[in-house]
Structure 1
Amino acid sequence: MVVDYPTNKIWTTLVTKRAYLGGALVLNHTLKKAGSRYQLKIMVTREAEADNELMAAFAAAGIPTILIQDIEPTRKCNVNKAFWQKLAPWAMTEYERVVLLDSDQIILQNIDDLMTLDLPEGHIACVHACTCNPRKLAHYPQDWIPKNCPFTSANPQTGSPAPIHPTSPRTHHLLNSGTVVLTPSKPQFDALIDAIETHPDVPDMVFPDQDILAIVYRNKWKPLPYVYNALKPMRDCHSNLWKDEDVKVLHYILDKPWASRDFDREDKVQSTHRLWWEAWAEVEEEWTGPEAGGEKRRLFESVVRPVVAQE
C-alpha cells in the first residue's frame, strides 16, 4: 500500500551499523501502528550505506534512507563519532520540521502533534535528562543525584516539567536527545559545528550530542513532558510521576531489549521490555508471513534475525 506522506516534515533516526536494525524496524512499525501521518527516514553513514544487505533490508521495509555527511571534531576526542552524527538533521534544510528519534524507542501513542508544535525561531523542543543516576554509574557527573533531577520538581499530577529559572540547578538545563523537535537551519547547524570545534568540554563529554545541544540551546529549548521520551528507569525512580497509560514514547536507554529475551517480568524497569518484544513479534510476522515475498524472507533470515536475540 502506497501512503501519501507529507514531504516537508519527517521523523528520522540514525543507524550506523546492523546492531540497531531491529530497533529501527520496531520504531518504524510502532509509528505506523500509532497512526502517524508522517514518514520515518533513516539517516545512514557512508559505512552503513556500503553494507548492501543492510540497505536492501531498509528497502524491503519501505523505509527511505538519507546519507549524511561525516560530523566529527578535527581535534582529538574521547567520544564515539556516532554521537556527533546525530546532529545531521540540523542541516536538512529541505524540510520544515524534523523530529529526531532514537532507534531504541517504541511509540505507544500518536505523537504527530510534535510536527505542529509551536517552536520559536532558533529553538528546539525536547525532554529533560533524568539526572538521578539510579544505577550509581561512576562515569556520570557527581551532581547527577535525585535531589538535582528536574523530574523531581515536575508536576506529579500533570507530568508537566518544572520551569527553568536562572537559579535552577545546572542539571535542570540538561536535555535528553532521544526525542528532539527542530527546524533545520544552516545558522543553527553552523553553531553546533562551531561548538564542537571550540568548546573546551568537548573532548571528554559523557553525553556528547545532548551536552552540546544543552550548551548551544541554553535557555532556547522548550521542555516537553516526559511522556514524549519516557526513559525506562524513570518507571522506578520517578514512580510518582510515571503513568503507564500516559506514556507516548518509551526509551530503552542502557540495556537494550533486543539483546536478550530473558528479562525479569516482575522488575519495574525490565518488565517494559515486554512491550518491545510484542512489537517485534508483529514485525517478524510482516517479514515472514504469507504476505512477505521470498526476497524479504531471505533478508530477514540473513540480516534482520541475527541482530535480535533468539533466546
Structure 2
Amino acid sequence: MTVDYPTNKIWSTLVTKRAYFGGALVLNHTLKKVGSRYQLKIMVTREAEADKDFMAAFAAAGIPTILIEGIEPTRKTKVNKAFWQKLAPWAMTEYERIVLLDSDQVILQNIDDLMTLDLPEGYIACAHACTCNPRKISHYPEDWIPKNCPFTSANQHTGSPAPIHPTSPPTHHLLNSGTVVLTPSKPQFDALIDAIETHPDVPHMVFPDQDILAIVYRGRWKPLPYVYNALKPMRDCHSALWRDEDVKVLHYILNKPWESRGFDGDDEVESTHRLWWEAWDEVEREWIGSEAGEEKRWLFERVVRPAVAPE
C-alpha cells in the first residue's frame, strides 16, 4: 500500500553499517505501527551505499535512503567520524523540519507532535542527558552523579523537564542526541562545522555529537520531557519519574537488544529488551511470510538475519 507522506518533514536516522540494520528496521516498523503520518529516511555514507545487497535490503523494506558526505574535522582526533555524520540533517535545507532519531530506539506512542512543535528560530529541542552514571563508568565526567542530574530536578509527578537557566548546574546544560527536533539551516550547520574545527574540547569529547550540540546551542535548546527519549537505565535510576505507560520513545543506550536474546527478564532495565524483540518478531514475519517474495526472503537471510542475534 502506497502512503502519501508529507514531503517537507521527515524522521531521519544514520546507519553506517549492517550491524545496525535490525535496529533501523524496528524503528521504521514501530513508527508505522503507532500511525505516524511522516516517513523515515535513513542517512547512509558512501561506504554503505557501495554495499549493493545492503542497499537492496533498504529498498525491499521500502525505506528511502539519503546519501550524506563525510563530516569530520581536518585536525586529528580520536573521535569516530560517525558521530559527526549525525549532524548532516542540519544541511538538508530542502526540508522544513527533521526529527533526528537514533536507530537503537523503539517508538511506543505516536510522536507526530514533534513535527509541529513550536521551535524558536535558531533553536533545537531534545531531552536532557541523564548524568547519574549508574554503572560508574570510569571515563564519564566526575560531576555525573545523581544529585546533579537534570532528571532528579524534573517534576517527578508530571514528567516536565527541569527548566534551563544561565545559573543552572553545568550538567543541566547537557543533552542527549537520541531525539533531536531541528530546522535545517545552513548558518546553523556552518556553526556546527566551525565548532568541530575550532573548539578546544573536541579532541577529548566523551559524547562528541551531543557535546558539540550542547556547546553550539547553549541557551538555545528547548528541553523535551524524558518520554520522547527515555534512556533505558532511567527505569531504575529514575524510578520515581519513569512511568511505563507514558514512555513514547524507548532508547536502548549501552548494550543493544539485538546483540542477545538472552536478556534478564526480571531486571528493571534489561527487561525493556522484551519490547524490542516483540517488534522484531513482527518485522521478521513481514520479511519471511508468504507475501514477502523470494528476493525479499533471500535478502533477509543474507543481510538482515546476520545483523540480529540468533535465538
Q: Decide: shared fold, TM above 0.5.
A: yes
> Aligned residue for 1:249?
249
Letter in 2 for 1:164: I
Matched, 1:269 2:272: no
Answering whether residue 64 of structure 2 is matched by residue 64 of structure 1, we say yes
In structure 2, C-alpha distance between the alignment counterparts of 1:74 and 1:241, rounded to whole Å: 42
Aligned to 1:211: 211
Counterpart of 1:310 in structure 2 is 310
Tell me if 1:46 matches 2:46: yes
Task: Return the offset for 1:208.
Answer: 0.1
Matches within 5 A, 1:88-237: 88-237=88-237
Q: Deviations over 1:253-302 (max 9, x none)?
A: 00000000000000000000000000000000000011101000000001
Q: Alpha-carbon deviation of 1:162? A: 1.0
User: C-alpha displacement at 1:105, in angstroms?
Assistant: 0.2
Q: Which amino acid aligns with 1:187?
A: P
Residue 66 of structure 1 deviates from its aligned partner by: 0.1
- What is the SS of the residue equivalent to 2:56? helix
In structure 1, what is the Cα distance between the partners aligned to 2:167 and 2:65?
43
Aligned residue type for 2:222: K
Kindly provide the amino acid, as one letter, of the partner of residue 266 in structure 1: D
SS in 2 for 1:60: helix
* One-letter amino acid of the counterpart of residue 90, structure 1: W
Deviation at 1:69, TM superposition (A): 1.1
- The match for 1:84 is 84
Per-residue CA distance 1:50-90 (angstroms, 9 max, x = gap): 11111000000000000001100000101111000000000
CA distance in 2, matches of 1:298, 1:42: 22
Q: Percent identity?
A: 86
CA drift at 1:12: 0.2
Give the aligned residue type for 2:44. Answer: V
* Cα distance in 2, alignment partners of residues 180 and 8 from structure 1: 17
Query: In 1, are the aligned partners of 2:229 and 2:248 still within 8 Å (CA)?
Result: yes
Letter in 2 for 1:249: V
| Deviation >3 Å, runs of 4+ | none
2:166·2:219 contact (CA, 8 Å) conserved in 1?
A: no
Q: Displacement of 1:165 after TM fit?
A: 1.5
Per the TM alignment, residue 140 of structure 1 is displaced from its structure 2 partner at its CA by: 0.5
Pairwise CA RMSD: 0.4
AA partner of residue 57 (structure 1):
A
Match of 1:14 in 2: 14
Where 1:304 maps in the other structure, the secondary structure is helix
Counterpart in the other structure of 1:26: 26
TM-score (norm 2): 1.00
Work out the CA distance in 2 between the residues paired with 1:168 and 1:186. Answer: 30
Q: Which amino acid aligns with 2:196?
A: I
Q: How many residues align?
A: 311
Helix, strand or coil at the partner of 2:151? helix
